[in-house]
Structure 1
């Protein structure tokens, strides 16, 4: 590297060139730091997401169909098929339904996951979470392992497996 101190015999004129060597050194150090630090910061967890837009529900006669909405006064309204039930009646009906299905199968030891009835919940879009969450909790407390939600696909969409 050479350094220019000015020309000989000329007047003392200030030098107008910028020394870029320290700037390049700093940039190279920063580049090396970022190349080392970036792979440490970026951490990914390998997961396989489902490739299904939506699946049509296969309803079996033993499944429980619940509809949940809200009254104008803000109270939760739960319907077992088309019959309105309160929380006590919901619990009693769910226990009776599960007990009858277990008795029909010949006992708990004869029940397979395919034999277990499912709960399908249709919730109104304006229903508060406490209504739907309370119903899900009640059904799981009784012993229903499969609780699912029925939703409406966007208009014009056909069921397609990807």
Structure 2
């Protein structure tokens, strides 16, 4: 006697496939991911500063230039030779230093806790002024930062 509840035996090769083929889906997702990565604009924000590239030879007579120091405090206060100034006064000081017979060296030393925006604005002002003798002071403090 044959039970009616039992299912007929179907060979394994003739069974319908119950899984979805995910390979095309993954291919489409990878192509879309690559397209999104290519279309994302590159986020670059920098201030280009041309530093002197020629080494100073000891045979050349070097005048003793006046050294001005510009700093940015952690509070965003701009300091010119130790005294607080605003950006307009800084631009005036930079223009006055460029009118001297020998351009004085400008030493830039921002505080480690200073906001990037404040430092960036001061560097942009220095670049726009046309200063050619610029040095970064105190970078050795950040060697192990």
Q: Give the structure-2-normalised TM-score.
A: 0.48
Q: Give the structure-1-normalised TM-score.
A: 0.43
Higher relative contact order structure (alpha carbons within 8 Å, sequence separation ≥ 6)? 1
